[in-house]
Amino acid sequence: MDPREYCHNKATPPGSSLYYSLLFLPEAQRHTVTALYAYQKEIVGIVAECSDVGVAQTKLQWWQEEITRLFAGCPRHPVTQTLATPIKTYDLPQQSFLQVIGGAASDLEQSTYPSFQALTTYCYQIAGVISLMAAEIYGYQDSETRTYAENLGIALQLTHILRNVRQDADRGRIYLPQEELTRFQVSSEAIFTSYANSQGMTALLAQQAGQTRHYFRSALANLGKHDRQTQYAGLTQIALGLNILNTMEEDGYPVLQRRTSLTPLRKLWIAWRTSRRARRGLVPQC
- Whether the CB-CB separation of 83 and 35 falls below 8 Å is answered with yes
List the pLDDT tens digit at each of the 286 positions of the chain: 899 999 999 999 999 999 999 999 999 999 999 999 999 999 999 999 998 999 999 999 999 999 999 999 999 999 999 999 999 999 999 999 999 999 999 999 998 999 999 999 999 999 999 999 999 999 999 999 999 999 999 999 999 999 999 999 998 999 999 999 999 999 998 898 876 667 889 999 999 999 999 999 999 999 999 999 999 999 999 999 999 999 999 999 999 989 999 999 999 999 999 999 999 999 999 8
CB count in 10 Å sphere of residue 103: 23
Residues of the chain with CATH 1.10.600.10: 1-106, 110-286
In angstroms, the CA 219 to CA 45 distance is 26
Looking at residue 196, its pLDDT comes to 64
177: left (phi over 0), alpha (psi -120 to 50) or beta: beta
Query: Which one-letter DSSP state was computed for residue 14?
Result: T
212 residue type, one letter = T
DSSP-assigned letter for residue 174: -
Pairwise CA distance, residues 286 & 158, whole Å: 16
Residues with Cβ within 8 Å of 256's Cβ and at least 6 positions away in sequence, in order, are 165, 166, 169, 191, 194, 196, 201
Q: According to the model, what pLDDT value does residue 225 have?
A: 93
- The dotted CATH code for 110-286 is 1.10.600.10
Q: What are phi and psi of 90, to 5 degrees?
A: -105, 5
Within 10 A of 80 (CB to CB), how many other CB atoms are there?
A: 23
Whole-number Å distance between alpha carbons of 108 and 44:
10
**Cα 116 to chain center, whole Å?**
17
* Eight-class DSSP state of 112: S
158 with 208: CB under 8 angstroms? yes
220 and 135 Cβ atoms separated by less than 8 Å: no
Cα 241 from Cα 90, distance rounded (Å): 27
Which of 112, 110, 120, 103 has its CA nearest to residue 44?
103
What is d(CA 22, CA 18) in angstroms, rounded to the nearest whole number?
6
196: which DSSP letter? Answer: -
Q: Categorise residue 223: left if φ over 0, alpha if ψ from -120 to 50, beta otherwise.
A: beta
Architecture of domain 1-106: Orthogonal Bundle (1.10)
